[in-house]
Amino acid sequence: MKDLKCGLKSCRYNKGYSCCSDEISVDSGTDCRTFSPDPNKRGNLFEAGEEFVPADYSVDTAVACTAECVFNKQEKCVANGITVMSEGEQDAVCLTFMRR
């Protein structure tokens, strides 16, 4: 999956709100388990440069998932794209989840 949008800019795999990890894992509660804060990004949060990192949708990320979702086929996500977000300091959650 190349269209993997993610709002967690502090994650080491996030490039311009796109996920560039080779693989991610989403759990049964739809939380992204691959989220990994990058200590080097924290200090840059308020620098203009960080805001304008271009999105990189070239990485074909494999999404393993155990949520009871219509896009879950044998523990793999088959959606064309997903969006991951977090509210405040809470976990990263898959917003594309649709209960089956």
First vs last Cα of the chain: how many Å apart?
A: 21
Closest CB to ligand SF4 among 21 and 30? 30
| DSSP tag of 47 | S
Least distance (Å) from ligand SF4 to the CB of residue 42?
26
Judge whether 1 and 80 are in contact, CB under 8 Å. Answer: yes
Q: Does 8 bind ligand SF4 (CB under 6 A)?
A: no
Least Å distance between CB 73 and ligand SF4?
8
**In the numeric block, which tokens belong to residue 71?**
């896009």
Q: Which amino acid is at 2?
A: K
The interface with ligand SF4 within residues 17-76 (CB under 6 A) comprises 26, 30, 63, 65, 67, 69, 71-72
